Structure 1
Amino acid sequence: DRYCCSLFLAVNTLEYLESEDEAPDDECKWHPDEWGYSDGHDSELVKLSKTLWENHATLPGEAFFFSAMISAVAQVKSSGIFGERTEEITFFISISDDEDAENLEDSSAMTLNSPELAAAFLNRNR
């Protein structure tokens, strides 16, 4: 979120979008609020968010937080956990309540994905 004191993991699949009553459009395809899978109410990320909130006054700032998030996703991606189809997955970081969300999404997508996936992502609103 805007104050860098909560985390939310969201995952979506084309299959999930296609299973909804309406045909998927590009807008809901890229908006995590519309996605089908996320961390649960008692997940480790929820616990981490509580700790971030309790200590938000001492955190080093937004730029550090976003850089750390991008680095963490890059490490998870490079670990091989997503298997042989990793390069088909578009990864990006978003922020839920900020005018600069699109810039963060774009810069993180360029860092975390192949040039082809990043270019497709950057063209998502066109």
Structure 2
Amino acid sequence: MGGLLDARTPDAELVALLTADAADHTWVGATVGSNNAAGYQLATELPVMAIGGFNGSDPAPTLARFQEYVRAGEIHYFLGGGGFRANGGSQAAQEIAAWVAENFTARTVGGTTVYDLTEPAGGAR
């Protein structure tokens, strides 16, 4: 069942993952577009960064700014899947998604691709 503007409602396993250690981060997750972010934010009642704004087409944040947030530990997870398309969104959103995929390990939780941004692949950020 869809939520606000057909936002996907995450399953209980993903909600539990996002809410664990939430106080340690400014955003529990980041995903492209507010339609994707809305379902996660409504389910967790916690901040989720909507990369690219409403539909993912705004060039904000830039890759460099996103990397600063990650280095500072402000974003816990990057959430792909669930309506996210690698070819959707702005150039900045595509660069962020590609950087995350190249530097962090993907796993599937509740049908959603999740990258833990606090655990870079190979130990480098």
- TM-score, normalising length: structure 2: 0.31
Quick check: which has more Rg, 1 or 2? Answer: 1
Judging by fraction of residues, say which structure has more helix.
1
- TM-score, normalising length: structure 1: 0.31
